[in-house]
Structure formats: structure tokens, C-alpha cells
Structure 1
Amino acid sequence: MTGEQPSDLIRSVSRALRVLEEVARADRPLSVKVIARRCGLNLSTSYHLVRTLCYEGYLHRRPDGDYLIGSQVAERYHEMLDAFERPPRASAVLRQLAAESGHTAYLAQLTDARLVVVEVAEGPRSPWLEDLQAGLETAPHATALGKALLLSLPSRVRRGILTEYGLRRFTPSTPSSVEDVEVELSGLRPGQVVEEHGQFREEVACASAVVPGTQWALGISTRGLAIPQLAAARLATAVRDLARS
């Protein structure tokens, strides 16, 4: 959650969302008593919220009485991803990039000042990055995907996004101020390949570029702090292919 609390906040909706969040982040199903304690709610309110969420399909009640996330959450997740109007052939280009380079390929977009990974094609030469998976919001200041998209924006807009999102430190190399990011981007032209080395994850490097004529960024990740020349070349080819489509 970001920004100031709205004056017309509907408390029951906020409480229901808090229940969903607690159940979703738990590593096992939760009882209503545990949900109430974790959410800071009384037991009666928690029962009403849980029953409502179960009826709507957002929670599922197990035979033992504990609760886990329901199928409607997955439905909303897929609808959210489908709402992004990907470039034609985006999935095919992403899969081809991963197959030919051996590196995981990503497609991302900035929306409402947030960097969202929309699609991923896994490659064996890249590590599993749990924060760079489809549907997840991630850090624009520490990722090549985010920096490539920021590079395409006017400085004033870019600074606003960085200030709103904040500059969380992921590794000792992560930029710690808006000025640090501006310095990094100052020698690059919009559309150029942007790299980051160990800023998002230690011993991991990423490269990305914006697809010309779009607001999409295509990127790859690799083990180690160097981007292999062949992988960079495959990325550039994929960006051109996606632009032509």
C-alpha cells in the first residue's frame, strides 16, 4: 500500500483484504483464531469475513476447518495478466529468446508507477529469481527491466516514480538514491540496452531494452556478473523481432 489513507476507506473491505493477505503468505492453512490474531481482528468479525470470502471463492475451507487461498484468486491473477495488451507474438519471441540464449527471458511494463513482470520464459543458464515472476511487482531502480523503461521517460517523471516507489537496498550494489540512478542512466540513450550487475541479486546480472514504439521492456538474466556477448546479441535480435511484430 502506498500514499495517504483515503478519507472514504471502507473498513470491511480493508479487513477482508488483510485476511486474504495473511492466508496467502502463510506456509500452511490457518484456523480462524490464527487469522484473527494475525490480522488484529476480533473472532466474530473474522468468522464473518472468512465465511464471506469462502462463499465468493477467495478462500477454501479444508475438512479440518482451516483455510487456504481459493480458486477465485487464481482466476483474478490470470485475468490481470491477460489485461496487459502484449505486443503480437510476444510469447513466441520470449520463448525463442530463452531457447536460443539459454537465459531466462522477461517481458515487463511500467503501470501506475509500478514495474510489473507480465511474462517469463525460463532458461537453464539463469538462476531462479522469485521476485521476477509473472504477475509480480518489482523494483524499477535495481532491475535492468526497470531502468530500461525509466530511461525512456522524461527526467521529471522518472524521478517521481523512483521517489514514490522508494529505493530499497537488495544488495550492497543497489543504487541508494535517485541521483545514483540518474548518474547510471545519464550516459545512455532511450532504447539502448541497460545492464545491472549484482544490484538486484548478488552474483546475478541482467540486461534489458525497451521495444521501439512500445512501453514494453524485454530482458534476460544470467548467473555471474557478466552478460555473455551471445546472450546480449540474442536479446537485441528479440527486441527487433518484437518491434517488427
Structure 2
Amino acid sequence: MSNGASSRSSHPTIIQSVARASQILARVAAQDDGLTASEVAQAMDLSLPTTYHLLTTLATEGLLYKDSGRRYVLGPAAEFIADAVNRNLAIPDYYKGPLQRLAAQTSETAYLSAWRRSKVQILAIVEGSQAVSVVGLAAGAVGNEHARATGKLLLAHARSEIRDEVLGADPFAPLTEHTTTARIELEAEFERILQQGFAVDREEFAPGVSCLAVPIRSQSVVVAALTVSAPSDRFDRNFDQYMEAALSASESAALGIP
């Protein structure tokens, strides 16, 4: 009997309707102009009646709103939740472990960053055994998104209006001779980032230092990023190792594995 109880406790109960509602919210959040009921049904392989029930419930709770074009967008309650996330600078435990492992496996400085108050902010830093500190990159630092691997990664996955708000008008500040200063070039790089799944900066933020950033996803939405920073010669020599470690850490963070 004790074995049965132990077995049951190791497999938490998942309420399907709640899971589906959460997935709908994530899908709607990922779209600039929301989704119609039929688009949600098709994307999630649900019947239209089931889809309408879920959407109506979410709309009633203020998490979604149906606009004049009959498209569902995030509602005021979702904005309240997003604002709370933006104000919270605490690092969840399920991000700390992957970040620490990334620094230990690469022996380099590892960063955790996310959107906070419309800026890409460094939330935590862990130094590896041979880490090199970079002036201007500390916990809480924001700005210069156009020159940072993390900034470029999160901007690539952001909505167009967020890009406009963060980047403003070009030319951008040339922090080094390698910094991209033209919006059209940066937009082309965003497309490459979306295709390849990672971002790099090669001495664009600081001379002699290169960085690799990979996304952390919740459902299909990019919610944060992990970054490895290293001297450029070591970065080029160990790039494959850094990539493997970063992707492993990102997967653990996405799964909530401490």
C-alpha cells in the first residue's frame, strides 16, 4: 500500500482544462494581433465547441479580450500579471541551478536575463573558474541591447512595437568598432537569430570579449535567456562546448529542473 501511495505522489495530477487554458494564453501572447477561435482550435487540435468554452472562460476572467475583429488578445488581468512579473526581480530556484551549471561546465561567466520594464535586464550572474569580468555588465544592468547577444536574442523574439520602443531611431551607439549601428542590419540579424535559434556578439559590446545567448521558453514563448561570455580567442576555440552547455541549461530551465 505504501508503494502505491509513493507511486501516486510521484506523478502529480494535471488538470487538462487548466493546461489547455495556459497553452492558449501563451499562444495568444506570442501573436501581435491575437488569434481567432478557429486559429486556436486548429493550432491546439481542439474542437470548436471546446475552444469556445475555454476562450469564453478566459475572457470572463479578464485574461483574454475579444476585439472588434473577433480576435482574442490579452485582457486586463493578463496585463496585471505581466506587470507583476516585470516588477519582480527575484530569481526563481528553477533558473538558479541551470545558471550555476552553465558557469561550472564552461568555466566562464554565465548570465540570466529577461525583459523587465521594457528593458533587457541582467537578473543574475555566476562566474566560472576562469571567468573574465566585463565593465558595464552586472546584475541589474540594462541598455545597449543592440550590442549584446542577450539583447539581440530577446529583441529578435519581441513584437515589432517593443523593438521600436527599445531601439528608437538609428544610428545606435558604436560601443566598439564591431558594433552594428544601422537598424536595417540589425533587423537582418534578427532574422538569422530566429532561424538559427541563438545569438552572438563578437566584440560588439566590449573589445576582446564575445558572447553566446540562447532562449529559455515557456510553451512556445521566449521568456528569458542564458548567456556565456568569454575572451574572443577562447570563445572561438570552445564555441561548440559553450553551445552544448547553454542548450542543456536552457532545456533544464524550461522544464523547471533546479
TM (normalized to structure 2)? 0.58
Q: Is 107-116 or 234-243 further displaced after alignment?
A: 107-116
1:87 Cα deviation from its structure 2 partner: 4.1
Aligned to 1:222: 230
The reply to whether residue 113 of structure 1 matches residue 121 of structure 2 is: no
Equivalent-residue separation in structure 1 for 2:152 and 2:171 (angstroms): 14
Superposed counterparts of 1:79-228, under 5 Å: 83-163=88-168, 167-189=172-194, 192-213=197-218, 214-224=222-232, 226=236, 228=239
Structure 1: which 5+ residue stretches go unaligned? 1-80
1:113 Cα deviation from its structure 2 partner: 2.4
1:85 Cα deviation from its structure 2 partner: 4.8
3-state DSSP of counterpart to 1:141: helix
Q: Is the 8 A contact 1:125 1:223 kept in 2?
A: no
Aligned-pair identity (%): 22
Root-mean-square deviation (Å): 2.5
Equivalent-residue separation in structure 1 for 2:200 and 2:139 (angstroms): 21
| Distance of aligned partners of 1:165 and 1:210 in 2 relative to their CA distance in 1, 3 Å threshold | farther
Write the letter of the residue equivalent to 1:222: A
**CA deviation map 1:160-216 (0-9, x unaligned):** 311179822110111112222112112232781111111001111101022011521
Equivalent-residue separation in structure 1 for 2:192 and 2:254 (angstroms): 24
| Structure with a larger share of its residues in helix | 2
**CA deviation map 1:108-138 (0-9, x unaligned):** 1122222211100012343211211112223
Write the letter of the residue equivalent to 2:114: Q
1:82 Cα deviation from its structure 2 partner: 9.0
1:155 Cα deviation from its structure 2 partner: 2.9
Equivalent-residue separation in structure 2 for 1:112 and 1:166 (angstroms): 23
| Distance of aligned partners of 1:179 and 1:121 in 2 relative to their CA distance in 1, 3 Å threshold | same
Write the letter of the residue equivalent to 1:92: G
Q: Is the 8 A contact 2:105 2:245 kept in 1?
A: yes
| Distance of aligned partners of 1:82 and 1:112 in 2 relative to their CA distance in 1, 3 Å threshold | closer
Write the letter of the residue equivalent to 2:248: T
Moved over 3 A (4+): 85-88
Equivalent-residue separation in structure 2 for 1:110 and 1:166 (angstroms): 23
Count of matched residue pairs: 166
